[in-house]
Copies of this chain bind each other. A is one copy, B any other.
Amino acid sequence: MPRIADQQKDFPQWYLDVIEQAELAEHADVRGCIVFKPYGYALWENMQRDLDCRIKEQGAQNAYFPLFIPESIMKKEADHVEGFAPECAVVTHGGGKELTEKLYVRPTSETIIYATFAKWIHSHRDLPLKINQWANIVRWEMRTRPFLRTLEFLWQEGHTAHATKEEADTMAQAALQMYADFDREFLAVPVLTGKKPEHEKFAGALYTLSTEALARDGKAIQAGTSHNLGQGFSQAYGVRFLDEGGKEQQPWMTSWGVSTRLIGTLIVVHGDAKGLRLPPTIAPKQVVIVPIYKEDAEREQVLAACRKLAGTLAPLRVHLDDRPERSPGYKFNEWEVKGVPLRIEMGPKDLVAKQVVLVRRDTGAKESLPLAQCTPNELSGRLDAVQQGLYAQAQAFLEEHTHEVDSFKEFTSIIDGEGGFVWAPWDGTLESAQAIQEKTKASIRLLGDNAAKGTKDLVSGAPALHRALFAKAY
Interface residues of A (CB under 8 A from B): 26, 28-30, 33-38, 41-42, 44-45, 61-70, 73, 86-96, 103, 105, 112, 115-116, 119, 125, 131, 135-136, 138, 140, 142, 151-152, 154, 325
Note all chain B residues with C-beta closer than 8 A to A135: 136
Note all chain B residues with C-beta closer than 8 A to A30: 66, 68-70, 103, 112
Asked if B33 and A68 sit within 8 Å, CB to CB, the answer is yes
Note all chain B residues with C-beta closer than 8 A to A89: 68, 91, 93-94, 103
Q: How far is the CA of A400 from the CA of B91 in the complex (A)?
A: 47
Closest-CB distance, A338 to chain B (whole angstroms): 14
Asked if B26 and A119 sit within 8 Å, CB to CB, the answer is yes
Please list 14 pairs of residues, one from A and one from B, whose beta carbons are closer than 8 Å in the complex, sorted by A's number: A26-B116, A28-B66, A28-B112, A29-B66, A29-B115, A29-B116, A30-B66, A30-B68, A33-B66, A36-B65, A37-B63, A38-B131, A42-B61, A95-B140
Which of A66, A70, A86, A91 lies at the interface centre, i.e. has the most chain B CB atoms within 10 A of its CB? A66
Q: How far is the CA of A96 from the CA of B81 in the complex (A)?
A: 13
Asked if A61 and B38 sit within 8 Å, CB to CB, the answer is yes
Chain copies in the assembled complex: 2
Closest-CB distance, A87 to chain B (whole angstroms): 6
Q: How far is the CA of A66 from the CA of B136 in the complex (A)?
A: 10
Asked if A90 and B86 sit within 8 Å, CB to CB, the answer is no
Closest-CB distance, A252 to chain B (whole angstroms): 21
Asked if A138 and B87 sit within 8 Å, CB to CB, the answer is no
Closest-CB distance, A140 to chain B (whole angstroms): 3
Main secondary structure of the interface of A (DSSP, over half): mixed
Asked if A94 and B140 sit within 8 Å, CB to CB, the answer is yes
Note all chain B residues with C-beta closer than 8 A to A35: 63-66, 116
Closest-CB distance, A283 to chain B (whole angstroms): 16
Which B-chain residue is minimally distant from A132 (CB atoms)?
Answer: B38
Note all chain B residues with C-beta closer than 8 A to A69: 30
Asked if A95 and B91 sit within 8 Å, CB to CB, the answer is no
Closest-CB distance, A246 to chain B (whole angstroms): 16
Asked if A86 and B91 sit within 8 Å, CB to CB, the answer is no
Note all chain B residues with C-beta closer than 8 A to A44: 64
Which B-chain residue is minimally distant from A112 (CB atoms)?
Answer: B29
| Among candidates B91, B151, B154, residue contacting A105 with C-beta atoms closer than 8 Å | B91
Q: How far is the CA of A135 from the CA of B64 in the complex (A)?
A: 12
Closest-CB distance, A282 to chain B (whole angstroms): 15
Closest-CB distance, A155 to chain B (whole angstroms): 12
Closest-CB distance, A25 to chain B (whole angstroms): 9
Closest-CB distance, A65 to chain B (whole angstroms): 5
Asked if A68 and B152 sit within 8 Å, CB to CB, the answer is yes
Q: How far is the CA of A26 from the CA of B64 in the complex (A)?
A: 11
| Among candidates B29, B42, B96, B151, residue contacting A62 with C-beta atoms closer than 8 Å | B42
Asked if B95 and A93 sit within 8 Å, CB to CB, the answer is no
Asked if B66 and A38 sit within 8 Å, CB to CB, the answer is no
Contact A62 B90, CB 8 Å, known A30-B68, A138-B67, A142-B95: no
Closest-CB distance, A343 to chain B (whole angstroms): 22
Note all chain B residues with C-beta closer than 8 A to A33: 66-68
| Among candidates B90, B125, B152, residue contacting A66 with C-beta atoms closer than 8 Å | B152
Contact A86 B93, CB 8 Å, known A36-B64, A63-B41: no
Note all chain B residues with C-beta closer than 8 A to A131: 38
Note all chain B residues with C-beta closer than 8 A to A65: 28, 35-36
Asked if B41 and A64 sit within 8 Å, CB to CB, the answer is yes
Closest-CB distance, A20 to chain B (whole angstroms): 12
Q: How far is the CA of A138 from the CA of B91 in the complex (A)?
A: 12
Asked if A29 and B152 sit within 8 Å, CB to CB, the answer is no
Note all chain B residues with C-beta closer than 8 A to A119: 26
Closest-CB distance, A143 to chain B (whole angstroms): 12
Q: How far is the CA of A316 from the CA of B34 in the complex (A)?
A: 40
Which of A29, A131, A135 lies at the interface centre, i.e. has the most chain B CB atoms within 10 A of its CB? A29
Closest 6 A-B residue pairs measured CB to CB?
A95-B140, A38-B61, A36-B64, A33-B66, A90-B93, A94-B140
Note all chain B residues with C-beta closer than 8 A to A138: 67-68
Known: A30-B103, A64-B154, A91-B105. 10 other contacts (CB 8 A): A28-B112, A35-B63, A42-B61, A68-B89, A88-B95, A89-B91, A91-B91, A91-B92, A95-B140, A125-B325
Q: How far is the CA of A70 from the CA of B36 in the complex (A)?
A: 18
Asked if B92 and A90 sit within 8 Å, CB to CB, the answer is yes
Note all chain B residues with C-beta closer than 8 A to A87: 95
Q: How far is the CA of A130 from the CA of B325 in the complex (A)?
A: 21
Q: How far is the CA of A38 from the CA of B394 in the complex (A)?
A: 38
